[in-house]
Amino acid sequence: MYTLMIVDDKKVIVDGLKIIISRMLPECRVVAAAYDAEKGLLLGTELQPEIIVTDIKMIGEDGLSMIEKLQQAGCTAHFVILSAYPDFRYAQKGMRLGVRYYLTKPVEELELQQCIRHIIKDINEKKQAESNKTDTVSGIVEDAHEKDLILKVRRYLTDNFQKNISLKELSEKFYINLFYLSQLFKKKTGQNYSDYLACLRIDRAKELLIKTDMRVYEICEAVGYTDATYFSKLFEKICGCTPSEYRKSRSLT
């Protein structure tokens, strides 16, 4: 439902416009009517209607001055100017205020309907653009949050890979759903959690094989494994050779 206000100093005009709008524009609701610019300014500022249909020449302040003051007060309504005077000066000032629709009295019902429908289209397009912008910003914020979370998880694993850390324990430590963490970890690192942890451990094992004289079973335990046979098979699967072969090949270079 689109909110609409009518401003005209002739009650018969206001009542006639209400009838036309209710019959031909059921998606619009007239939320207020004012019979002078001063009241129009007050109601427009208070109610913030999406569409304002206003006369130009009224007793006291004119409609264009009212529009200017409403805009200065932060009103973002779309305006339709009505006038019995087809004077280009009025239209010119209205254009400077960003008013796109200028109708002469007596108003043709079909012309008013088409005018309001154009405005409704503009409103919808603006709302869609704002929604897309919000979605984009939200997506950027969410992506940054996810990256930060995975960075923290990876740092924790780098410092504690030798411990028996399950994904469930990680989800509890970082207060995040287990399934979501699993999916997010794969999305951000390109690896399953178990594969990532295995690579961390094997990388450390490779360092120990080259830089120390620790036995294979000692290195196995140092990087977090308790079964030396399993460790050797995993090492060979990842590196293409056994731990002993890896150490021997590096000692020859």
**Least confident interval from 97-101, 154-158, 168-172, 176-180:** 97-101
pLDDT of 250 above 70 = yes
CA 116 to chain centre: 29
**pLDDT confidence tier of residue 234, bands split at 50, 70 and 90:** very high
Q: Please name the residues in contact with 101: beta carbons below 8 A apart, sequence gap of 6 or more.
A: 78, 79, 80, 81, 115, 118, 119
The pTM (predicted TM-score) of the whole model is 0.63
**pLDDT confidence tier of residue 88, bands split at 50, 70 and 90:** low
Q: What span, in angstroms and rounded, lies between the C-alpha atoms of 136 and 148?
A: 18
Average pLDDT over the chain, rounded to whole?
91
- Classify residue 187 by its DSSP letter: H
Going through the chain in order, the beta strands assigned E by DSSP cover 2-7, 28-34, 51-55, 78-83, 101-104
The C-alpha R_g of the chain, in whole angstroms, comes to 36
Q: What span, in angstroms and rounded, lies between the C-alpha atoms of 178 and 201?
A: 22
pLDDT of 97: 82
Q: Please, what are the domains in the chain?
A: 2-107 (3.40.50.2300), 194-251 (1.10.10.60)
pLDDT of 120: 96
Read off the tokens for 210: 């080259």
pLDDT of 183: 93
pLDDT digits (tens, 9 = 90+) for 108-136: 999 999 999 999 999 999 999 988 888 88
Q: What span, in angstroms and rounded, lies between the C-alpha atoms of 92 and 142?
A: 47
In the 3-class helix/strand/coil scheme, how is 128-160 assigned residue by residue?
Answer: HHHHHHHHHHHHHHHHHHHHHHHHHHHHHHHHH
**pLDDT confidence tier of residue 87, bands split at 50, 70 and 90:** low
* CA dihedral of residues 183, 239, 204, 219 (deg, nearest 10): 120
Mean pLDDT value across residues 51-76: 91
Question: Are the CB atoms for 53 and 5 separated by under 8 Å?
Answer: yes
Read off the tokens for 220: 């196995």
**pLDDT confidence tier of residue 252, bands split at 50, 70 and 90:** low
CA distances from 253 to 93, 204, 246, 247, 250 (A): 85, 19, 11, 10, 5
Q: What is the largest CA-CA distance in the chain?
A: 103
pLDDT of 253 above 60 = no
Read off the tokens for 45: 């500022």
pLDDT of 90 above 70 = no
HSE value, Cβ hemisphere, 13 Å, CA-based, for 154: 17
